[in-house]
Amino acid sequence: RFLMIITLLRSPAKSFRPFAYMPQSSRMQMSSESLALFDGKTCLTVEEAIAAHGSVKFLDGSWYLKGRNGRKEFEDGPRIKGANYFDIDDIASTGDDINPKNLPHMMPPPKLFAAAMDAMGITNNDRVVVYGNKECFFTHRAWFQIRGMGHKKLHLMEGDLGEWIDLNGPIEYGEKTPIAAKDLDLSHETQYCSTGPENVVDMAQIMKITKEGDSSDSIIVDVRSKERFLGQVEEPRPNMRLGHMPGAKNLPFTDLLDPDNLTKFKSAEEMKKVIREAGIDIDSSKKLVASCGSGATACTLVLALDLCGRDPGSTFVYDGSWIEWGGDDSTPIVKEG
C-alpha cells in the first residue's frame, strides 16, 4: 500500500484528465438557447468548444502536406471524445470520370458528401465543429469543404487538440476507424441533403479572369509564400512550373495567422491591415478568388475574410490551384526574379 501511495503522489498532475473518463450522461448538454449564442460565429475558442461538447458534432479535419498523416493520427488517438475524421482527400472528387487530372482534395459530389455525413451520424440540423490535431494549421480546407457543400451550422475551433487536452476537454483513446468513401453505398437515398459545391471556380474561369485583366469582375489572390509566388524557389510538388497567374496579388496565408500559434488567427484588425498592405480591398464589390498550392491553404484566406466581415458569398477558391495551373503547359505564367 505504501508503494502504491508513493506512485500516485509522484504521478504528473497532467496525466489526470477527469473528462476523458466521464460518462456521456454525467455531462450537462448546452441548451438550444445557449448554442444559439454561437450563431454567426465562424470560430470558437477551445473553451467554448469544450463547453459545447455533448451538444455538437466534432470532426477532425487534420491534413498535412508532408511528414504527418492526419488520418493515421486520428485512428491511433487520442482524439476528442465522440469525434469523427473528415478526410479531405477521400470525401472528394476522385476517379478518371470526374477528376481526370487526379488533383488532390477536390470538392466532392453532393451524393458522396451526403452519404459521408449520414455515415458519421450528422444531420443538416447538427452543429459541427472542425478541429485539428496538435500543431495542425491546415484544418481550414475541411471547414471550407463542409461549408461549401451546404452545411450551415459550422465552426472552426481555434487552437488544437493539445490545448483541448491541457484544458481537460473530453478525450478518448484506442483505435477508431474513420469512414471511407469506398465503403459508402451511393445507391441509397440519403437522409442528409447536400447542396454545392459552392464558391469554387475552375481553370476555365481563372483563364477568363487573367485574360480580362483589370476589367474582370474578379481578383485572384495567391496565398503561397512570396518566394513561390515570384518563382524564386522550387514548388514542393514535382513537375510544377514556377511563378504565378497574370494579375494575381500575393498574400502569404501565414501572414494571417498568429506567429506564436499558427492554429489561431491574428485579430481582425491585424488581419485587415495585412490584407490592405497586400493591395486587397476587403469591401471590394469584385469577387475575391483565393488560390494556393492545391486548394488547401487558400481556405485560410476565405476564413480570414469571413472573420473580417466580408460577405462569404463573394469569396471563392480556385479548387485546382497551382497544382493544376502550374502543371499545365497551356496556361500563362508570370515569373519574376
**Cα distance between residue 228 and residue 230, in whole Å:** 5
Whether residue 253 is predicted with pLDDT greater than 70 in this model: the reply is yes
For 111, the grid coordinates are: 451524393
- When pLDDT is averaged across residues 223-229 and rounded to a whole number, the result is 98
Question: Contacts from 65-71 at CB under 8 Å and sequence distance 24+?
Answer: 65/138, 65/236, 65/293, 65/296, 66/236, 68/136, 70/133, 70/136, 71/178
For residue 78, is the peptide bond before it cis, meaning its omega torsion is within 30 degrees of 0? yes
What would the pLDDT profile of 65-84 be if each residue is shown by its tens digit?
889 999 999 999 999 999 99
For 155, the grid coordinates are: 465552426
Label residue 223 exposed, middle or buried (CB < 10 Å: 0-12, 13-18, 19+).
buried
For 152, the grid coordinates are: 450551415
Q: How many other C-beta atoms can be found within 10 angstroms of the C-beta atom of residue 272?
A: 18
The catalytic residue positions are 292
Which pLDDT belongs to residue 337?
A: 63
What would the pLDDT profile of 128-156 be if each residue is shown by its tens digit?
999 999 999 899 999 999 999 999 999 99
Which pLDDT belongs to residue 37?
A: 74
**Cα distance between residue 233 and residue 67, in whole Å:** 20
What would the pLDDT profile of 270-287 be if each residue is shown by its tens digit?
999 999 999 999 999 999
Q: How many other C-beta atoms can be found within 10 angstroms of the C-beta atom of residue 13?
A: 5
**Cα distance between residue 72 and residue 280, in whole Å:** 38
Which pLDDT belongs to residue 85?
A: 98
**Cα distance between residue 309 and residue 272, in whole Å:** 10
